[in-house]
Structure 1
C-alpha cells in the first residue's frame, strides 16, 4: 500500500520524480507513464467497449449491471491504450494475471480534443468498470481517459492498510496519482498537457470526485458525480443501512400493520417510498455486504477478531451483528476513523451532481441532498449544481425491475457532462 502522503504538493512531487516504467508490448506509442512500475501499450482501431471487448482490452464482468439492457454506446474511436500498475503491495486485482493492485488504464484517442477525464470505479470494482458509462461517452467527444482500481478491490478491501480508514484513504491518493501521470502522458503523446481535466464517477467513484475537488483542486477544471456515496461525520452508510437490514425481513412477517411498520422504518431511514421493488435486490446483494465491508474498514473492533462480519445475522442475535450496528454509540476512535474519510462540502472547482430520485442504495434524502446542504453551508453553493433525475435508480441495470417506474440515468449523465463542459472553463492550471 502506498505510504501516506500528507499534502497535495508532496504527492505531486513524488509522482513526478519517481522513475517511469518503459512502455512495452508492441511499442506503438513509446509513451512512458511517470511513477508506474509496469505499463504496456496497444494501438487499437476502437478504444470503446465495442472494440475493446473484442480485443480483450476491457473486462465486461467489471461493468456488469451498470448499464440498462439494449443501451447503445458510441464506438469507432481509434487510438492508443496503456494498461499498467503503480507500485503497491496488495494483490486483490487479478486482471491480466498481474495479481497487483493500483492498476490503471489510459486511453489516448487519435483525434484528441485537448481534454482529459479521470475516473475511479464504483463499489469494489476495478479500472474497467466505467468503460461503457463514462469512457465510451467521453472518448466519443475526443477526450483522453484514465481510470484506476483505487488501490484495493473486492469484498475484503478492509485488509489493506495499517489502521482504520487506510484502504479508503488510499483511493484518493491513487486517483490523484493517476491524474498527475495521465497529464504527463498526454504531454508526451500529443505534445501538450490537457487544457481541461474533469473528474467523473458513479457511487463510490462519485465520492472520489467530491474528495478530489475538495482536496486536490489544482489538478482539475471541474467534476461530475452520479449517485455519489457521501461519507460524513454522522456515519453515512453506517446509519442508513442497519435500519433497512433490521426492517426488511419483517416486510413479509406478521399482520398488515406489522408489515406496514417495517416499510415505514425503511422510508424513515431515507429510502424513497417508490423504490420498494428494488429493496429485495439490495437486501440480498448490496445492503448487508456494504454495511459489513465499510464497518470492518472503520470499526474492526465491533465484532472482535471476526473479519467482514456475519452475513445476514438477524437483529438481536448478539454482539458483533451488523444488523444491530449503532454508529452513534461507538467509541470516539471509530468516529475519528470516519472523520478521516468524511467530505466537508468545501469544493474548489465546479461540480455537477446527478442523483436518481429512486436510488435505494445512496438515497437522495440521506446522500445527495445532504451533500448539497454541506456545499451550501461551506459557502460554495455557486460551484455546485445538483440535479434530481426522476425514476433514476442507483445503477441503470436495475431498471429491468420496473421499466415503467425506473429510468436509465446515462442520458442524464451525458447531458450533465455537456453542461459541465460549457460551465467549467479552462483555468491557468487545469
Structure 2
C-alpha cells in the first residue's frame, strides 16, 4: 500500500505539472499495426519443437498536449498475439503519461508514470523498471535477466518518477527527484518475489566550460519484498558525474560511485558495498543516431533479491531516404546475487534486433523485423530464440 500511495503522489505531481499552463495545441491519434512472422522459441522452452508462426495486432493511441512551457504525452497500448500451434493467445496492455515542462525561466520539471500488464516471452522480456526516469528513448533497453522463470506468466509493472532541475546561477544547477516501482509476477516455476521500490536523489552540477559540466549526486532507496526470505533493503549511492560535448554531434554522460547496502534478513543485518556507475556515448548525425551505454548498479530483481546488475547496450538508426529507415539494437545484461542475502546465482540475457520501415503513403508504412534473444547461466538450459516478421502500420488521426 505504501508503494501505491507513493506512486499515486507521483501521478498527481505529474498531472499537476502537465495541466498547469494552458495548452496551445494538441494532437490526438493512434497507430494500428498488424504483423505476421515466425518465432523458433517464443517462451524459451528447454526442449522439443518449440517454434510457431504467430500474428500480432496492436492499437497504440496517444494524445500530445503542447504549451509554451513544454509537452505532455499520454499513450496506451493494447496488443493481441495469436500462435498457430502449441501456445494460447495473449493480450497485453500498457499505458503512461510523460511530461517535460519549463515551470519558470530557471526551473524545469520532467516526469512519467507507466503501467503494463504483459505475458512475458523472449520477444518481450521484463525491462528494468528502475532505469532513470524519465528515460532516454535513444538508450538501449535493459532487462532483468532473472525474470526468465516468468515466461508465459502475466507480469504487472507500475513505475513512475519526477525530476526537478533548478538553475542557481549561470554555471550552477541543483536537481532533485523521486521514483518508484511495484512489480507483481504471476505464478512461476521458480520462487520469484513481488517487490515495491521507492527512492530519491539530489545532485549538484557546475559548468566548467562551454561544453563540459561536472557534479556530485546522492541517491537513497528502499526495496520491500513480499517474500520474507529475500529481506528488505536500504541503499545509499554517492557518485561523481560528468557531462561533456566533444563535438557538435558527439556527447558523453558518465557517473561513478559506490553503493552501500543494508539488508534485513530475519532480524539480522547483512551489508555489502559495490561499485556503481554508468557511461553513455551518443552521436547524432544528419541522417543517423548512435548511442552506446554501459552501467553497473545495485537494484532489486525477481529471483536474486537486491543484487549487482551489469549491462551494456547499443542503439542505431539510419535514414536511407526521406521514406525509409533502418534500426538496430543490442543489449546484454548480467545479474549476480550476493551470498548471504538471497540466491547467490548469476543470470545473463542477450538481445539483438534489426528493423526496417518504409513509408508507403502519408498514413501507411511497411515494417519488417529480425531479432535474436538468448539466456545464459539460467536455472534450466534454454535454447535461443530467432524471430522474423513483416507487417503494416497505419496512422489514425493527427499525422503531423
TM-score with structure 2 setting the length: 0.31
TM-score with structure 1 setting the length: 0.29
Larger proportion of strand: 2
Larger proportion of helix: 1
